[in-house]
Amino acid sequence: MSYTTVLSAKAMRELDRLDRKIEQRVQSRLDELAANPLDPRISNNLEMSEGKRYSRVGDWRIVYDIKESEKTLFVITIQHRSRVYKELTK
């Protein structure tokens, strides 16, 4: 069963700012995550934030949360790896 993908306003802005090629790769990964958000080949637990997960797309990170009861994949942020972890620890 596929999950519904919901992007936060911040994630939507970040996705719009990406280079077209990267944006397509991120969209493809979001489709994969919607099919199986816990797949260990494409996602990992985010150790600094309980319950959140991340997926790597080149140098970019998709940080998301799974709402199991609603079958929803909630995308919190999409950022370059140099910034994402610093921001999450604030």
Strand order in the sheet with 52-57: 4-7, 72-80, 60-67, 52-57, 44-45
Domain positions in the chain? 4-88
What local confidence, expressed as pLDDT, does residue 87 receive?
79
Task: List the chain pLDDT tens, one digit each, 90 residues.
Answer: 699 999 999 999 999 999 999 999 999 999 999 999 999 999 999 887 788 999 999 999 999 999 999 999 999 999 999 999 887 776
Identify the burial level of 32 via C-beta atoms within 10 angstroms of its C-beta, where 0-12 means exposed, 13-18 middle and 19 or more buried: middle
Architecture of domain 4-88: 2-Layer Sandwich (3.30)
Could you read off the pLDDT of 68-79 as tens digits, one per residue? Answer: 999 999 999 999
Q: Amino acid letter at 10? A: K
Per-residue pLDDT reduced to its tens digit, 51-63: 899 999 999 999 9
